[in-house]
Amino acid sequence: MEPVLECSRLVKDYEHTRALAGVDLTLYRGRIVGLLGPNGSGKTTLIKLAAGLLQPTAGEILVAGRAPGRETKALVSYLPERTYLPDWMSASQAVEFFSDFYADFDAAAAMDMLGRLAIPLESRFKALSKGTREKIQLILVMSRRAQLYLLDEPIGGVDPAARDYILQTILSNYREDATVVISTHLIADVEQVLDQVIFLRSGTVQLCTSVDEIRAEHGCSVDAFFREVYKC
Amino acid sequence: MLSKLIKHELRATSRPILPLGAAMVAYALLYRLLTALHLTRQWPNLDQTLAGLGLTFFVLLMAACGLIGTFLLVSRYYHSLYTDEGYLMNTLPVTPGELVWSKLLTAFLWSVFLTLSGIVAVLAAAAGTATFREVVGGLADAIAQGWQMLRFDPPLRAVIVSELVLLILLSPLAGFLRFYAAISLGQLMRGHRLLGAVACYFALNFAFSLAAALLMMVTGGLGVNLFSSVAPSAAVAVAWGYALGIVVVEGVVYFLISHWGLSKKLELE
């Protein structure tokens, strides 16, 4: 099976820090992967490199066999940790925007989800709450039939009820041959949907294994195992 | 994809730019109406003062709209590609070249709109006055004289007119690209990106002025010989061709820098 994401000796340096220190990683299709690690472990950097928003210092990162570029951006659906839709835009304009640029965008599915959440379609984003804007972004990202979803802290800033909705949205919308990478600190909340986890520490992959293996070998949940591994 | 990018770029920029054009024309119409009504004719001093103030404000308004429009169009490049919105724009399945072209062509279209709005405003403010008739008459005379100078050599006339049209079209494009290139280079300076962009703008300006001056020194002898040996109209064609060449080289270099910034040096924080 062709990998959807490959990293080979991937290094990323910022001005005074090394965010990724030689990451070797291969992700295959049809998985929901938790990208886990403490603050500063390199989760966001790895996702941004895959999305083509950063350039590697050394090594290589490939999405569906290609370096990040126009072709891979058509395959990747990326949800950043911040609100990135412009203030002047409305939800209906955002749907039109995604329809124009992404051939795999399902506008009907997006409108259906927006309608079920009773999100005002014509209100400008600056008039909406941060939580509502985050839900709109998630709906737009998950309404694509992408090959790789990169979700950076999708449940970080929302209440527990909204977390359930977000996880349900992810589960009910991704294609079975697609891979979903979820970066988060809130392991207990996402654990039930994960097939595989990657533990990052100081820019290196400390562990890449299936959730079932962790439970079988260590006899505990991923959350408990994470706390053990990263105990201060 | 370029047409879609331009469509959304026009939508994004129309809200701040359209009111600038409307403000110029609306003020001009109001100014013309008030001067036509001449409500203060019984108080000559007040009348002259108000007329002077109204005209001064009109000139300031035109200048402000031009400056604000340019600032909005330039800052749009920075905000949509290098801030939070960059997470949206730089993950679209489009090439860096398409992103730069979409911003550039949109900025050009809006600068044409603002220029036309300014012309309409001036015409509206001066319509029917003696000054208006003098200015239009003077302009027509100047064009007729220029045309007369070139009447003996139709091919050269075509060259000069083409050069003039290209200079008018390409100069604003090169001007916007200089801002874009400066913003792109400013991104390389971590922590002081905007300050870096301002410094790079002046550095690029200085570098190209210096290069043009050096080129002028090198080719100066040739120019003197040319000017003394050919008809004045041919010398004008050469001089404008030289200016056009500089604008084209500048534009290409700035475009390549802007493209490189998005394709090889993108580092969204």
DSSP string, chain A: ---SEEEEEEEEE-SS-EEEEEEEEEE-SS-EEEEE-STTSSHHHHHHHHHTSS--SEEEEEETTB-SSHHHHTTEEEE-SS--S-TT-BHHHHHHHHHHH-TTB-HHHHHHHHHHTT--SSSBGGGS-HHHHHHHHHHHHHTB--SEEEEESTTTTS-HHHHHHHHHHHHHHS-TTSEEEEE-S-HHHHGGG-SEEEEEETTEEEEEEEHHHHHHHHSS-HHHHHHHHT--
Using an 8 Å CB-CB cutoff, list chain B residues near A88.
Answer: 12, 15
Residue that wins the pLDDT comparison between A17 and B135: A17
Nearest CA in chain A to B4: A100
Smallest CA–CA distance, residue B56 to chain A, in Å, is 34
Distances (CA, A) of B245 to A184, B1, B139, B163, B191: 54, 30, 28, 10, 36
Tell me the pTM: 0.87
Q: What is the pLDDT of residues A165-193, one digit of tens each?
A: 777 877 777 777 899 999 988 888 888 88
Chain B nearest-CA distance from A74, in A, is 5
Report A:30-59 residues touching B (Cβ under 8 A).
48, 51-55
Residue B176 sits at the vertex; the CA angle it makes with B173 and B182, to the nearest 5 degrees, is 135
Smallest CA-to-CA distance from B135 within A204, A218, B267, B127 is with B127
pLDDT for B224: 59
Task: Report which of B52, B18, B19, B28 is spatially closest to residue B121, judged by C-alpha positions.
Answer: B28
Q: Is A88 on the interface with B (CB under 8 A)?
A: yes
Structure tokens at A18: 């090394």
Residue B16 to chain A, least CA–CA distance (Å): 11
Which chain B residues contact residue A101 at CB under 8 A? 1, 4, 92-94
Which chain B residue has its CA at the smallest distance from A16's CA? B190
Tell me which residue of A141, A181, A161, A136 sits closest to A3, measured CA to CA: A181
Q: Which residues are registered as beta bridge partners of A201?
A: A204
Which secondary structure element, helix H or strand E, spans residue B91, and what is its range? Answer: none
| Distance separating alpha carbons of residues B29 and B33, to the nearest angstrom | 6
Tell me phi and psi for residue B2, to 5 degrees. Answer: -60, -40
Strand pairing report for A5-13 and A18-27: antiparallel
A70 chain-B contacts, CB cut-off 8 A: 93-95
Our CA-based measurement puts residue A217 at a distance from the nearest CA of chain B, in whole angstroms, of 39
Candidate from A55, A71, A74 with C-beta closest to B265? A55
For A129-146, write each residue's pLDDT tens digit: 888 888 899 889 988 999
A22: left (phi over 0), alpha (psi -120 to 50) or beta: left
Helix (H, G, I), strand (E, B) or coil at B42: coil
Q: Which of B12, B95, B191 sits opposite A86 (nearest CB)?
A: B12
What is the spatial distance between Cα A84 and Cα A77, in angstroms, rounded to a whole number? 14
CA distance B65 to A34: 51
Rounded CA separation B31/B54 (Å): 7
User: C-alpha angle A144/A175/A223, rounded to 5°?
Assistant: 105
Domains of chain A, start order: 5-229 (3.40.50.300)
Summarised one tens digit per residue, pLDDT across range B141-159 is 888 887 777 666 677 778 8
Please tell me the distance in Å from B85's CA to the nearest CA on chain A.
Answer: 5
8 Å CB contact of B268 and A48: yes
Whether residues B1 and A93 touch (CB distance < 8 A) is answered with no
Structure tokens at A152: 């950076």
CA-CA-CA-CA torsion for B245, B246, B247, B248, nearest 10 degrees?
Answer: 50
Q: Are A142 and A77 in contact (CB under 8 A)?
A: yes
Q: Among candidates B91, B89, B266, which has minimal Cα distance to A70?
A: B91
Q: How confident is the model over A33-60, as a mean pLDDT?
A: 93
pLDDT at A66: 94
Distances (CA, A) of A206 to A23, A26, B62: 10, 14, 62
**CB atoms A83 and B84 under 8 Å:** yes
pLDDT of residue B223: 61
Helical segments of B127-231, H only: 130-149, 154-186, 193-229
Conformational region of residue A150, where left means phi above 0, alpha means psi within -120 to 50, and beta covers everything else: beta
Contact call for B88 and A70, based on CB within 8 A: no
Alpha carbon B55 to its chain centroid, in Å, reads 24
| Mean pLDDT of the residues in chain A | 89
CA torsion A87→A91→A95→A96, rounded to 10°?
A: -70
Q: Is B93 close to A102, i.e. CB distance below 8 A? A: yes
Per the CB < 8 Å rule, is A54 touching B264?
no
**What string of pLDDT tens digits covers the 269 residues of chain B?**
899 999 999 999 999 999 999 999 999 998 888 887 777 777 777 777 877 888 889 899 999 999 999 999 999 999 999 999 999 999 999 999 999 999 999 999 999 999 999 999 988 888 877 777 888 888 888 888 877 776 666 777 788 888 889 999 999 999 999 999 999 999 888 778 889 999 999 999 999 888 888 887 777 656 656 666 666 667 777 778 888 988 999 999 999 999 999 999 888 87
